[in-house]
Every structure is written in C-alpha cells, then in structure tokens.
Amino acid sequence: MSAPLPNLLVLSGGDVADQLEGNRAECLDVVRRAYLAHDAGSSVNPQSAFLRFPHQPRSRIISLPAYLGGEFDVAGIKWIASFPANRDRGIPRASAVLVLNDAETGYPFACLESSIISAARTAASAVLAAETIVGTRDARRVGIIGTGLIARQVWKFLRDLGWRTGGFRLFDLDRAAADRFGAALTEQGAPDVVTVDDAAGAFADCDVVLLTTVAGEPHLHDPALLAHAPVVLHLSLRDLSPEMILAAHNITDDVDHAVRERTSLHLTEQRTGNRGFVHGTLADLLTGRTARPEGTPVIFSPFGLGVLDLAVGKWVHDRVTAQGGGTPVPGFYDAVAS
C-alpha cells in the first residue's frame, strides 16, 4: 500500500502579511524559540551560497538551506535576490521564495512568498536582541539609518510589542525616503520624529540605533559615535569600520556565519587576525551565559540564519492551513508517481 502523495500549497505575500498583522508578539516568540533550538544543536544550517554577477556587481541571489528540529522539525531553503537597481524601476530591491520540505519524506509541501517572512524574522531578531540587551522595552530615542523595508518591519515590531520610545531620528541617503518613513511613523502615533542630515545625527542621544542600509563597504568610522554606549542593531552588517567594531561589545547570531563575506565582523577579523572581539551570541544572552557589561556600547550583527526563515515560514504555514487558506496545487506530484 503506497502512502498518499503530499500536496503543495502556495502562499502569497498577502497570505503571509495577513498572519503577521496583529501577531508580531507571537512571531517574536517563534524566533526566540528557533534561536534556542539552534543553540541546543537541533539544527543543520550550512553556509549560505552567494550567486553574484560580474556584469552587475551590486546584485546577488543568496540561497539559505537549513533544517530545524525540536518542536519545528522542518527542512527547506530560502532563495532571496537583492537587486538594488530595482528601486529605479519602482519595484522593491529584494524578492524571495521559501520552500518548506517535509522532514520525513523530503517532499516540498509549501512555497511561500518570502521577502515579508525574511523581513519579519530579521526585524523580530533585532527587537528580541534589543529587549534582551536593554532589559526593558524602553528607549529614550531610536536612531534609524536606512529607512527601507527592514526598518519599516522593525518599527512595526517595536510598535506592536509596546516599546515606550521618546523619539526617532531618521537618516537615509534618499532624504525623501526618510521623510516618507517619518510621516508614516507620526501618523501611527510615534512621538518626536525628525529627519536628520547625516548618520551622526541618528546616533546622537539615541540609545538604540538601527542600521538598515544597503552599504557594501563601511561608511561609519568614528568610534566617538559610540561614546554614549548605545545598543546598535547592525542588520545591514557592512556599515561599521573595524575601529567601531573594536570599540564595542559584539554580539552575533552565529559566529561562523557572520564572520565572512566582507561583513564588518569579517573585515575586523582580517585586521586583527582573530575573532576574540566577538563576545557572544544572542542565544548566549537569552540563556544567561553572558550579559551586557555596564556602560559599554553593544553592536548586534546577526547574519540572518536560514533556520529563522524555516521557523517563521512553518508558523505562517500552520496558521494559514488551520484557516483553510493558501492556494493548493492539486496533483503537483501525480505524474512523478505514475
């Protein structure tokens, strides 16, 4: 007797966005549990592969295959493209799909629009790191450098998780983008939102600073920017010079992933010849194995692990399935079996 063939379910960006709205606290908890499962060794997370184009050096497509065990027990792969010139075409820079594979049969059972999942899991990891490092959901002021898709998601997590924030300082090379972002924040009730003239203005007096640019090389070099000991959420990974990295307490998600591909951590390793400047992982903080030293700037540089996409993708998939949503592709595997 043969087992029934699995079905394939396609989830659009709309399906994904519907599940996130109103449920960001739950999503953040899924990300927390995924970090802990990864930390406990219940995962396989090979290095991402970078497909680059000699004729288009700023563009890339990255594959992130992974397996996450424990309560998740799912395998899969995210295939995410970054084409910065898309903005001139009037379409978003990043596009992605996530394929979820059944851990028992290997069959892909879902294909999800994944730029939203990727942005959500990234924002969730940043806000989780911020609350873990700060110890509360309070910020006197938040600085945001690079006001695109990821920054928007981080704002939504801060808002939905009830962060008490006294103000926002925004900087973007595209000033109009920062102004639009600021107008949206103000409309949603954020206090004291100001667009500033340079990146330094988004550090000054900000105890939490978010870096979400698309910089390929360090453009921030002055360790004095860190003198007031902020928590820097360095999601774009390549903004800070080694001098700045060396002036802070450095936390990442997974050292072997984050110290490569010319990230600021990688450049610092090349400069110093070792990785001693990386003080721990977010899981170290979550489990209490390490703590933030008093009065020290902290830089969180998460590479962004494929296991997080799997965890959030599976969570979205299970919610949609329970509601009878998504678009099934009946008979997707039938011809293979006949």
Selected from 108, 230, 297, 304, the binder of ligand NAD by CB under 6 A is: 304
Confirm or reject binding of residue 306 to ligand NAD (CB under 6 A).
no
Convert 35-59 to b/e letters by CB count within 10 Å (16 or more is b): bebbbeebbebeebeeeeeeeeeeb
Closer Cβ to ligand NAD, 19 or 48, answer by number: 48
Site for ligand NAD in 33-92 (CB under 6 A): 82
Selected from 10, 161, 200, 215, the binder of ligand NAD by CB under 6 A is: 215
Q: Can you tell me the distance from the alpha carbon of 200 to that of 216, in angstroms, rounded to the nearest whole number?
A: 19
- Return phi, psi of residue 53, to 5°: -125, 115
Q: Can you tell me the distance from the alpha carbon of 110 to that of 263, in angstroms, rounded to the nearest whole number?
A: 32
Closer Cβ to ligand NAD, 9 or 28, answer by number: 28
Options 9-17, 263-271, 297-305, 324-332: segment touching ligand NAD (CB under 6 A):
297-305
Helices (H), 195-251: 242-246
Helix axes 24-39, 149-160, angle to 10 degrees: 100
Options 33-41, 69-77, 169-177, 313-321: segment touching ligand NAD (CB under 6 A):
169-177
Q: Can you tell me the distance from the alpha carbon of 79 to that of 10, in angstroms, rounded to the nearest whole number?
A: 15
Confirm or reject binding of residue 255 to ligand NAD (CB under 6 A).
no
Q: Can you tell me the distance from the alpha carbon of 44 to that of 77, in angstroms, rounded to the nearest whole number?
A: 12
Minimum Å distance from CB 82 to ligand NAD?
A: 6
Minimum Å distance from CB 200 to ligand NAD?
A: 11
For residues 301, 37, 321 and 2, what is the CA-based torsion angle, rounded to 10 degrees? 130
Confirm or reject binding of residue 282 to ligand NAD (CB under 6 A).
no
Selected from 15, 113, 131, 172, the binder of ligand NAD by CB under 6 A is: 172
Using CB positions, name the residue nearest to ligand NAD: 148
Options 33-41, 65-73, 162-170, 298-306: segment touching ligand NAD (CB under 6 A):
298-306
Options 4-12, 99-107, 187-195, 230-238: segment touching ligand NAD (CB under 6 A):
230-238
Selected from 20, 112, 130, 149, the binder of ligand NAD by CB under 6 A is: 149
Closest CA to 262 of 206, 227, 224, 215: 215
Options 6-14, 105-113, 136-144, 167-175: segment touching ligand NAD (CB under 6 A):
167-175
Please, which residues bridge with residue 100 across strands? 76, 110
Q: Can you tell me the distance from the alpha carbon of 224 to that of 209, in angstroms, rounded to the nearest whole number?
A: 14
Q: Maximum distance among all alpha carbons in the chain?
A: 70
Confirm or reject binding of residue 309 to ligand NAD (CB under 6 A).
no
Q: Can you tell me the distance from the alpha carbon of 36 to that of 19, in angstroms, rounded to the nearest whole number?
A: 23
Helix axes 115-134, 149-160, angle to 10 degrees: 50
**How big is the site for ligand NAD, counted in residues (CB under 6 A)?**
28
Site for ligand NAD in 102-131 (CB under 6 A): 118, 122
Minimum Å distance from CB 173 to ligand NAD?
A: 4
One-letter amino acid at 61 equals: I
Options 25-33, 47-55, 212-220, 309-317: segment touching ligand NAD (CB under 6 A):
212-220
What does the binding site for ligand NAD look like in residue numbers (CB under 6 A)?
82, 93-94, 118, 122, 145-151, 171-174, 177, 212-215, 219, 235-237, 302-304
